Structure 1
Amino acid sequence: MERSKNSEQRPQFWQVARRCCQLAAIVDIAFFAIFMALDSPILAWVNVVSVAMYAWAFYAFGQRQNGLAIVLVWTEVLVHSALGIILIGWDSGFHYYLLMFIPALAVTMRLGYAIILLVLLWAYYVGLYATSLYFAPLQPISAEALIGVNVFNLSVVFGMFSYLGFIYVRTVSSANRKLNRLASTDGLTLLHNRRHLTELTEAEITRSERYEKPMSVLLIDIDHFKLINDLFGHLKGDEVLQHLAKLIRMELRQHDLIGRWGGEEFLVVLPETDITTAEQVAERIRAAISSFNWSDNLKKDMTVTLSIGVSQLAPNETLNRILNRADKALYISKSCGRNRVTRLEK
């Protein structure tokens, strides 16, 4: 159960583990040739078994049988490391591969289980070292060959750790970017959510005051949106919101800000824009929405319209004040028949 849960939570790790099985199999193929050349047939044929085990683990990872795959990988590395040290000595460097389990345990296990297995791994590691001190290798090879095997093993482990490190950094960075998007984006319209847009607007107010540049806001509300939901259902209502978000975005400049402010409300922030220009932008948005062909989404000949309130930032004014004024302008648009733009100056 624990492994299954982790497999769902850390899919990137299992993908990396699957790739490592491929790399390990290639390394073992190379070892087969090396040990045959060094006249160490036992270790050579051990690598054939190792290739088969990694192939099986690769298949198991692909079938999401992660528990089986991990057992195969652990068994292969533990047995292979022990055989390498017993047959040709500690200086062969086969113990390096045991260190690969340390980050894997941290990722795949709960803290308690990871600590227990780390202690056992440490005991196994020390046990192999103690064995190498008291018992001579059963199939020793020349000193030059031993150095070559050690450097080869060190290079492989160094390369794998580097590969895993780069993959980890890339995965974490990608996950952080995704979390930031989720924290700052409205999931339906993919616009800024209210919290993030508030932060951006506060920063824009500070910039406008510092450089004495005008700034205006549009508070946009969909007319009779409840009726759309009641007649066609909330799924159709969601589609309308998504289309509106795209259409409004098309009428804005790249550096303009737009976010979903409420259920059917949008807030547009127009940097370096006075109220007259902002009113023109609002009218352009209103006209684009009312003239859009909604027949694919709603009842034939039915249109979606917007009521918009426009306001410009006054000197030393807070965000709440400019929004309150835009809201009053929006209310005037609603009370005067909807599908219109109203500007309200301080």
Structure 2
Amino acid sequence: MTSMDRNVGTHDRPQFWRVAQRCCLIAASVDIAFFAIFLVLDSPILAWVNVISVAMYGFAHFAYGRRLNWLAGWLVWTEVLLHAALGIILIGWDSGFHYYLLMFIPALAVTMTVQLAVIALILLWLYYVGLYAIALYYPPIQPITEPALIGVNLFNLTIVFSMFSYLGFFYVRTVSSAHRKLNRLASTDALTLLHNRRHLTELAETEITRAERYHKPLTLLLIDIDHFKLINDIFGHVKGDEVLQHLAQLIRLELRQHDLIGRWGGEEFLVVLPETDINTGEQVAERIRVAISRYDWSQNLKKDLAVTLSVGLSQLGENETLTRLINRADKALYASKSAGRNRVTAL
């Protein structure tokens, strides 16, 4: 096993390894209970095996905490394989110690490549069948009473059932979290954390439909940073990105909670103002323009920087599409730039 193989999962599956670490504590607690049970059942070999098992799970827990996942994995595998074999050989198949071998199936799927997981599953199946064959043809070395055997079986079944349930809920939460993250990434601009163009287009179409249905006004603002190329050329693209990030936050502060804002292009932002006519929209645009022009950029960027905006806005007309509405706002924006920039124009 290479060092790269040993560290697989340390960074890409941190949640799984944290769950594995917690499972070590659960398993150690179960083995402590088994120590007492087998002392009572007069099976000293299995009783003291559980002491060794507790120590192995303790070391595995420590290894997981130090991100030595390969070492922890070997300790857990060794403990379960040997413990299952000893339990079956000493007190029989009906003890249910073979249930614990099934716990490896989801772990193999998560921690290995498909090819290695298939090989490991085949070996696990052969081991499982081998133990069954031993139990079938050879009587247990230290048999216990039938009621005690049933009790041990139910105890093992309960533990494995509980741990499978825990893992099942963990996987459901993990998948749900991953879906939410993917949806967020698919709809959010990575730099500004605003809506991206595709998602904002969908939201704007919905707002236009609502505005037409209820005969409500809707105004759109198209905002562009003046001379943004010069900001990049003089201060560098890193500072340019910081300007975009701070600008997005500042614009958001000037809007209502239900207003929509997204990054439309490189240095362009699109704002959708539901239930807002052109006059009110012009006031909002002017408030944004003034807030940006008066903002002290040196407090965040450590640079003496002047940032201004040009804004074009348009109000939704009867039976007007989003494309036509944006085109009119774009013409208004062009008029603002032609007139000297740092101004608001409505069309």
> What's the TM-score bracket when you normalise by the shorter of the two chains?
over 0.9
Residue among 157, 179, 182 paired with 1:179: 182
Equivalent in the alignment of 2:261: 258
Q: Deviations over 1:29-62 (max 9, x none)?
A: 1111111111111001101111111111112222
Alignment of 1:169-318 (within 5 A): 169-296=172-299, 297=301, 299-300=303-304, 302-318=305-321
Q: 1:27 is matched by which residue type in structure 2?
A: V
Q: Aligned partners of 1:135 and 1:326: how far apart in 2?
A: 85
1:299: Cα distance to partner?
4.2
Q: Aligned partners of 1:141 and 1:84: how far apart in 2?
A: 11
Instruction: Indicate yes or no: 2:158 matched with 1:155.
Output: yes
1:207: Cα distance to partner?
2.0
Q: Aligned partners of 1:7 and 1:202: how far apart in 2?
A: 43
Q: Aligned partners of 1:138 and 1:294: how far apart in 2?
A: 80
Which deviates the most, 333-342 or 288-297?
288-297
Q: 1:239 is matched by which residue type in structure 2?
A: E
Give SS of 2:144's match: coil
Q: Deviations over 1:142-166 (max 9, x none)?
A: 1111111111111111111111111
Q: Where does the alignment leave 5 or more consecutive residues of structure 1 unmatched? A: none
Residue among 10, 13, 17 paired with 1:14: 17
Equivalent in the alignment of 1:87: 90
Judge conservation of contact 1:259–1:266 (CA < 8 Å) in 2. Answer: yes
Judge conservation of contact 2:8–2:111 (CA < 8 Å) in 1. Answer: no
Q: 1:152 is matched by which residue type in structure 2?
A: F
Q: Percent sequence identity over matched residues?
A: 76
Instruction: Indicate yes or no: 2:104 matched with 1:104.
Output: no
Equivalent in the alignment of 2:127: 124
Q: 1:21 is matched by which residue type in structure 2?
A: C
Judge conservation of contact 1:309–1:326 (CA < 8 Å) in 2. Answer: yes
Instruction: Indicate yes or no: 2:57 matched with 1:54.
Output: yes
Q: Deviations over 1:16-38 (max 9, x none)?
A: 11111111111111111111111
Residue among 64, 67, 76 paired with 1:64: 67
Q: Aligned partners of 2:115 and 2:141: how far apart in 1?
A: 38
1:12: Cα distance to partner?
1.4
Judge conservation of contact 1:236–1:298 (CA < 8 Å) in 2. Answer: no
Give SS of 1:5's match: coil
Give SS of 1:191's match: coil
Q: Aligned partners of 1:298 and 1:341: how far apart in 2?
A: 28
1:137: Cα distance to partner?
1.0
Q: Aligned partners of 1:170 and 1:325: how far apart in 2?
A: 46
Give SS of 2:261's match: strand
Judge conservation of contact 1:232–1:298 (CA < 8 Å) in 2. Answer: no
Q: 1:298 to 1:124 in 2, by over 3 A?
A: closer
With the length of structure 2 as denominator, give the TM-score of the two structures.
0.95
Which deviates the most, 151-160 or 198-207?
198-207
1:5: Cα distance to partner?
3.3
Q: 1:157 is matched by which residue type in structure 2?
A: V
Q: 2:173 is matched by which residue type in structure 1?
A: R
1:309: Cα distance to partner?
0.3
Q: Deviations over 1:234-293 (max 9, x none)?
A: 222222111111111111111110011111111001111111111111111111111222
How many residues are matched?
A: 343
RMSD: 1.4
Give SS of 1:219's match: strand
Instruction: Indicate yes or no: 2:27 matched with 1:24.
Output: yes
Residue among 1, 8, 29 paired with 1:5: 8
Judge conservation of contact 2:293–2:306 (CA < 8 Å) in 1. Answer: yes
Q: Aligned partners of 1:242 and 1:112: how far apart in 2?
A: 44
Question: 4+ runs of 1 displaced by more than 4 Å?
Answer: none
Q: Aligned partners of 2:115 and 2:239: how far apart in 1?
A: 49
Q: 2:326 is matched by which residue type in structure 1?
A: L
